[in-house]
Structure formats: C-alpha cells, structure tokens
Amino acid sequence: MGDYDKSVLIAEDNRDDAELIKRKFRLHDINCKLFIAKDGEEALDYMHHKRKYLNKKKFPDPDLIILDIRMPKVNGIEVLKAIKSDEILRDIPVIMFTVSTMEKDLLESFDSGCEHYIGKSVGFENFEDTLEPLIKHYLME
C-alpha cells in the first residue's frame, strides 16, 4: 500500500472519468492514496466506515473528496449533504466533478457545502488546468 500522508476519495461511477482523475494525480507526482467509490452508497459506506470499509487504518478519512453528482443508488448532492451535516466529516473539502451543466445542480452543490464545482465538459486540458491547483491547495498546504 505504501506510506502516504494524504488520501483522496473519488466517488465516480464512470470508470473512464475515475481513470482520468487518477492519471492527473500520477502525471503531477501527487503522492497520496486514492480510493474509488463506484456509487454514492459506497462513498457513504467509506465515509462512515461501514461494510468493507470497517478498517479505519486501511481506509482513512480522506483529506479531499472528488464527487460526481449523477451516480447510482445515492446521488452526489445527497452524499455531499450527508458529509457536510456530519460533525466529524464536514471540514473535508469536496470538489464536485460532474457532467451536469444545470444551474440548479451548481447552486445546490454550493448551497450544500461544496468548495468547488468542475464541469466534465471543460475538456481534458482545461480539466487539468482547473483541477491541479485545487489538488495542490488541499493536499500540499
């Protein structure tokens, strides 16, 4: 597993998008442990150390969460609200990374406590330019 100072939870049901984010970390030699949740229910299980995530040493509270809105079982807005309403978890920064361009989703994300909102439609080059400073801000301060 390696020794890492920081960890990131990526809650993303699209494997290609999850790989894109993982590649971003590797390209910039950002040394942290990445955990992938394939849906909102799994993200909540991870955050609350339930089911296969009982071992808090193996699955630590993340220092950053990258969260998709459109996910099966529990959507990203619901996951965000659960995180931000939890006294222990609420200070973990959340970046919404989503295909949604609906203003309602943007407003609800910020109203629910996300720190940043990145549309997947920005393209890989713009995605890199947008995500890199945020990752460095939250993980390398």
Please write the tens of the pLDDT for every residue from 51-104. Answer: 999 999 999 999 999 999 999 999 999 999 999 999 999 999 999 988 777 888
Residue 128 falls inside a structural domain: yes
Q: How far is CA 130 from CA 89, 109, 122, 127, in A?
A: 24, 18, 9, 5
pLDDT, residue 97, reads 85
CA distance 56 to 50: 10
Q: What is the pTM of this model?
A: 0.88
Domain coverage including residue 90: 6-139
CA distance 46 to 60: 9
Residue 1 falls inside a structural domain: no
pLDDT, residue 94, reads 96
- Residue 116's SS3 state is strand
Residue 116 falls inside a structural domain: yes
126: domain CATH number?
3.40.50.2300
pLDDT, residue 124, reads 56
- Please give the tally of structural domains in the chain: 1
Q: In what order do the strands lie in the sheet with 6-11?
A: 32-37, 6-11, 64-67, 94-98, 116-119
CA distance 94 to 122: 19
Residues in the chain: 141
pLDDT, residue 37, reads 97
Dump pLDDT digits (tens) for 19-47: 888 888 887 777 789 999 999 999 999 99
